[in-house]
Amino acid sequence: MSIEKNTRELDRDIVRDFSARMSYASYLQLPTLLSAQQPVSAPVHHDELLFIIQHQTTELWLKLVLHELRSAAAWLRIDDLGSALKAIARVKHIQKTLTEQWSVLATLTPTEYSQFRSFLGNSSGFQSSQYRAVEFLLGNKNAKMLPVFESDPEAHAMLQEILEAPSIYDEFLGYLKRQGFDVPAALLERDVTQAHEFSADLVPVFKYIYENAADNWGAYEACEELVDLEDNFQLWRFRHLRTVQRTIGMKSGTGGSSGAAFLQKALELTFFPELFAVRTEIGQ
C-alpha cells in the first residue's frame, strides 16, 4: 500500500524568480520592518520583544486610523456622508483589534516587566504623536500637549495642523446644518483649537433626529456610528488602564505621568457629549 507524502506540489505557474520582480517582502519593505525591533535591555530580556512589537503594531494601526478619520472629515465637508461612514466603520474594526491587543501585553507579569523597564528611560506611550492626533481629530483638543513634541518637528507640525482644523464632530455638525437641521450658530463658529464642550442647545437637534429616524436615516446612522466610535475608544482606554494596573500597579509612568491615575482621568473625557445626553431625553 502506498503512502501519500504530506506535501503538496507547487502550481506550475507560481513565480519563483524575483531577481527582477517585486516580491511580497520588497512590496511590504519587510527587511526594514522586521529589523525595527531593537531591544535596549542588557542583557536582552526575553519579553522586551513583546513590548516593542505591541507598541509598534499599535502605531501602525493608529496610522491607518488617522488616514481614515482625516478622510471621513474631508468627506463630511463635501456632504459625502456615505464615504465618511464607510471610513468610520473601518476605524471601528481597527479599534476592536487595538483593544484586543492589550490581552497580549497583559501576559507580561510585573516581575518580567520590572527586569527591563529601567532601560526605557523616559520613553512613554504618552509621547505617541499619532495617538494624540487621533484624540485631536475626535475633538479632545489640548494645545498644552504640543510642547512634548517640539523635539520632533514633523510630529509637532502634524499636531498643530490638526489642532487648528475642525474635528470630525465639527464637520458632522456643519453637515447637519447644511442638511437643514437647526444646529446652534455658536457651535459652527467656535474656536476649533479648543476641546468641544457640552451644548444643551444641541440636544434637541439630536432628539428630533432620533425620534424621526425614518425620515432622517443618514443623520441617524451617523449619530450611532459616532457613538460606537466613542464607546470603542473608551473601551480601549479602560483596557489600557487595567493593563497598566496589573503590570506596574500605581507606579508613575516612565514619561513622568502619574501612571494609572493619569489614565483614570482620561476616562472622564468625552468626544460627543450631546449624543449621550440625548438618550435621557428620548421618549419624554
Is 109 marked within a binding site? no
Is 117 marked within a binding site? yes
Is 67 marked within a binding site? no
Is 113 marked within a binding site? yes
Provide DSSP, the chain. -----S--PPPTT-----SSS--HHHHTTHHHHHT------SSPPTTHHHHHHHHHHHHHHHHHHHHHHHHHHHHHHTT-HHHHHHHHHHHHHHHHHHHHHHHHHTTS-HHHHHTTGGGGTT--GGG-HHHHHHHHHHT---GGGGGGGTT-HHHHHHHHHHHTSPPHHHHHHHHHHHTT----HHHHSS-TTSPP---GGGHHHHHHHHHTGGGSHHHHHHHHHHHHHHHHHHHHHHHHHHHHHHHHTTPPPTTSS-THHHHHHHTT--S-HHHHHHHHHTT-
Is 272 marked within a binding site? no
Is 156 marked within a binding site? no
Is 284 marked within a binding site? no
- Binding-site residues for substrate sit at 51-55, 113, 117, 254
User: Residue ranges for the binding site?
Assistant: 51-55, 113, 117, 240, 254
- Detail the residues annotated as belonging to a binding site for heme: 240
